[in-house]
Amino acid sequence: MEIITINRFLEYYEDTRSITNKVLAAIPHDKLDWTYREGKFTIGDLIRHIAAIERFVFAEMAIGHKPCYKGCKSDITIGYNSIFDYFEAMHVQTIKILETVSDVSLSNNISLIKGREIPLKNLLRNMIIHEVHHRGALCIYLNLLGVSTPPVLGLMEEQLIELSK
């Protein structure tokens, strides 16, 4: 996606988030603390991580601030409804922040955490890549638990094969 205007980017990002929300809706209430191996993200950690990175890294850097990410463990929020409220609140805050970004500034360079500079529009693209990456991890977690996940682009593979005949 070529990011030319902030409004078009935000529309695209909301489409990305709507798919993520479908995956989140498939998570069983009793599996938020599940992980495939000790020391790895739990399902709840992954949800909090997507939310916190979006808000406290990408949104902050988009407006020229230093990231203020503090992690994603259960000390942030715990419990099924609380985690999803946090996820939504961080997204709403991020969108409000990004709505202040001008179209002209999308081509301005910003400094990444390690000092490398990239255009702001590339940072925003990376925010989507980050979410999609962790959404994929959530799908794998759910599949390991035997939970069906929704199709990402509207069709399951079997449906696509059938329609391709």
Known binding residue 49? Answer is yes
Backbone angles phi, psi at 26, to 5 degrees: -85, -5
CA separation for the pair 128, 16 (Å, rounded):
7
Decide if 16 contacts 36 (C-beta within 8 A).
no
Amino acid letter, residue 144: L
Reported as half-sphere exposure (CB side, CA atoms, 13 A), residue 116 has a value of 4
Other C-beta atoms closer than 10 Å to the C-beta of 75 total 9
Q: Which residues are annotated as a binding site for a divalent metal cation?
A: 49, 130, 134
Binding site: residue ranges?
49, 130, 134
